[in-house]
Amino acid sequence: MTTTELWTLIPLLILACGSVLVLMLGAIVPGRCGTAIGVAACAGTALWALLAPPQPMAPPTLGVTFTPFARFFLAFFAVTAGLSLLLAHDHAARQGLKGEEYPATVLFGAFGMGVVASAANFLTLFLGLEALTFAFYILVAYDHNRPASGEAGLKYLLMGAVSAAFVAFGIALLYGATGTLEIGRAVAASAAGGGIALAGWGLLLAGLAFKISLAPAHLWTPDIYQGGPTPVVAFLASGSKGAAIALFLLILPPLGGIGPLRAPLWGLAFLSMTVGNLAALLQPNVKRMLAYSSVAQMGYVALALLSGGRGYEAAAFYAVAYGAMGLAAFGALASLEGETPLEQVDDLRGLGYHRPFQGVVLAVAMLALAGIPPTVGFAGKFAIFFAALKGGEAPLAIIGILTAAASAYYYLRVVVNLYMKQADEAGSRQRPTVAEALSLGIAALAIIILGIWPGPLFDLAAAILL
């Protein structure tokens, strides 16, 4: 192994070794040291990805690279994993959950996300994708005190197996058509691959539609969001969606060169924006509402991917933006939960006054998801719709703008319950712990700062896609 190859693997090794260390110490010295080790491993990975000097690019014999694209998303995944661990630090105690399996699995999931962003060939890409998906199978079913959690984990497993089959079959067809698993070479050879290559890209797109929750492959999303532990859902809505966006950006070039794939992606974007927002309007359950909202949000990302050029930059920007919004929204809900999960929108009545910190963070997240300035949600949606109009997708952009306007109703309904209705039981929810306050504060500040000053992140998104 060369020095360059070792340099490439170090951030991934930090996460993998951290996961193993947490499990070993949990067996030898039971306690709650897993969160501290996990956060330290995430911080080390993020710092290495951001501060390590660039290395000359060697042939990716190990199937991973250390490109600016990989470094950007490695840092993002490490930060989301670390903040998710902070959210779960005291939430697990309130729910009666013990053991070091949770932080270890979060680190393993972040490792899978990092492999996806660093992948140089389709085999590594598939292994990373399945590593993060298997981590979420475990995390969603982690709350053994609630039957709904186990049910959600089983549903996720069954649907994920079908999705993995589509992705694997698509990769197999691409290999048969192009004779290579290297992503760049397969992209270049796809045009000469004929119908087999086209079928491979189609199956790959169908499988990835599940991973990113694009309609009509979205039906798993509300059940998993409702049944899974809320800190897990925070990580799922931020890190997992970011990994799916990164994966699309890695394989995106063929979508611009193979005309028949444009129509399916157009349909996925249209259905996701309309179905996601319309379904969310009818949801009394706050987590199901946010689940359908995520379907619509990923529809906007699909619109950005369709637009090309600036749309790619907008998609990379929105990966970070939605990560901050998802962490803030579900993190605030997790902090508000007592011994029982917080389920209905009506359960939030008056909590903006009785739990002011969580209330402000949740309100900021809702305003950002609705695309109201000066939040990062507004900057992200503006960039997506601008890119769509410039890219010739005016009809779909107009549909997106109209559905985004309609979404303000159900997002603002949460804010109304927080501040304009009287609480039924003011003392039934928990005040934030130090770990929760730190995580929520970082997410909320990111929403505001990136909304007021989005330029540096847009410049960075453009640089990593060169």
- Round to whole Å and give the CA distance between 262 and 327: 32
Backbone angles phi, psi at 47, to 5 degrees: -65, -40
What residues form DSSP beta bridges with 182?
Answer: 121
DSSP code string of 319-375: HHHHHHHHHHHHHHHHHH--SS---BGGGGTTHHHHSHHHHHHHHHHHHHHTT-TTS
Which amino acid is it at 238? S
The tens place of each residue's pLDDT in the chain, 466 residues long, gives: 556 556 668 888 899 998 888 888 877 776 667 778 888 888 988 988 888 766 555 555 567 888 888 889 999 999 999 999 988 887 777 776 776 788 889 999 999 999 998 888 898 899 999 999 999 998 888 887 788 888 888 888 888 888 999 999 999 998 888 888 888 788 777 766 678 888 888 899 888 888 888 988 888 889 899 888 888 899 998 888 999 999 988 887 645 544 677 888 899 999 999 999 999 998 899 999 999 999 999 999 999 988 877 888 999 999 999 999 999 999 999 888 766 667 788 888 888 888 889 899 999 999 999 999 899 999 999 999 999 998 888 899 999 999 999 999 999 999 998 888 776 655 555 678 888 899 999 999 999 999 999 999 999 998 888 7
Quote the CA–CA distance of 185 and 163 in Å, as a whole number: 24
Q: Where are the domains of the chain?
A: 261-466
Euclidean distance between CA atoms 82 and 342, whole angstroms? 23
pLDDT of residue 412: 92
Helix (H, G, I), strand (E, B) or coil at 432: coil
- For 285, the token pair is 């359950």
CB 39 within 8 A of CB 80: no
- Token pair in block for residue 205: 């797109």
Give the pLDDT score at 120: 85
Residue 453: C-alpha distances to residues 50, 135, 301 (Å): 20, 34, 21
Question: Position 5: which residue type?
Answer: E
DSSP state at residue 142: -
The residues pairing with 64 across neighbouring beta strands, listed in sequence order, are 119
* Helix, strand, or coil (residue 308): coil
Distance CA 237, CA 50 (A): 23
Q: Which residue has the tokens 């013990």?
A: 98
In DSSP terms, 119 is beta-bridged to 64
Residues in the chain, overall count: 466
Residues with Cβ < 8 Å from 20, sequence gap 6 or more? 104
